[in-house]
Amino acid sequence: MSDTRHLKLAVTGAPRTGKSTVAAALSILTGLPRTSFDSAEQSPPTRPGGGPASARVPASMVGASLRSFEARVHNESALPGFVSDGSVLNEWAEISAQVLGSRTTARERARHPMQWAKHTPDRIFMRRYARALEGILVRRARTVYDGIIHLPIDSRPLPDDDTAEAGERRRTSDRLLIDVIHRLNTPYVVVGGSLQDILTRVTGFYGLDHRVPVADAVAEALARSASPTTPRMGAARATRPVVEAR
């Protein structure tokens, strides 16, 4: 690949796969600045199928996704090279996972039949919006990113997943991201394992220059992740080793 200083890399993955920790470690290791958009403070209500928050979901989800896209474009456009924590694809995948999840909610229909009928137009709108957003963000990703690092989900459920629905959304998000990455024609690697394994594989695959040893980058990223004075980061979870690369 070209000079590491001008590479634009994206770290993708479903929620809580360790994107922030991996992006921070790659930034420390290579000297590339880390860009991000923390959508945690603007998380919209998540039950487009029913329940009292449903009427607010479309506006909240659309607003959050557009603010995220605007922030990412602004942050990434200002830099000659970077490591993107999440990429423009992640918010689309999370919205799409919520919308797709609403298709398989027979229990929701039985529990809230009136709410379900009332919000059918919202569900239709959100599916159309998700498809339109996909086209925009895929074009952006194809144009901007020189390489993608995807962190797959662990097949085991997370211990603090509050519902089966949350786990299903994570699996759907992972599948959507892998599918769209395949279509980008951008070099990518799907990699799991320890943080050190991930860094070693990624830097070898892309031929990245090291500013510090891998072990030092790992230690610093984990220290930042644990520090209460730094932005919240998900810890990189041990998953399967490398799945594929192109």
Q: What is the pLDDT along the chain (246 residues), one digit of tens a residue?
A: 557 889 999 999 998 899 999 999 999 999 999 998 754 334 444 444 444 343 346 778 788 888 888 888 999 998 999 999 989 998 889 888 877 765 445 566 667 667 666 667 877 888 888 889 999 999 999 999 999 999 998 765 555 555 667 788 888 999 999 999 999 999 999 999 999 999 999 999 999 999 999 999 999 999 988 765 444 444 444 344 444 556
Range of the domain at 241: 4-245
- Residue among 245, 235, 241, 239 at smallest CA distance from 25: 235
Under a CB-based contact definition with an 8 Å cutoff, are residues 78 and 105 in contact? no
CATH number of the domain to which 122 belongs: 3.40.50.300
Q: In the chain, how many domains are there?
A: 1
Give the integer Cα–Cα distance in Å for 14 and 173: 5
Strands (DSSP E) found in 132-195:
147-151, 188-190
Task: Name the helix (H) or strand (E) containing 54.
Answer: none
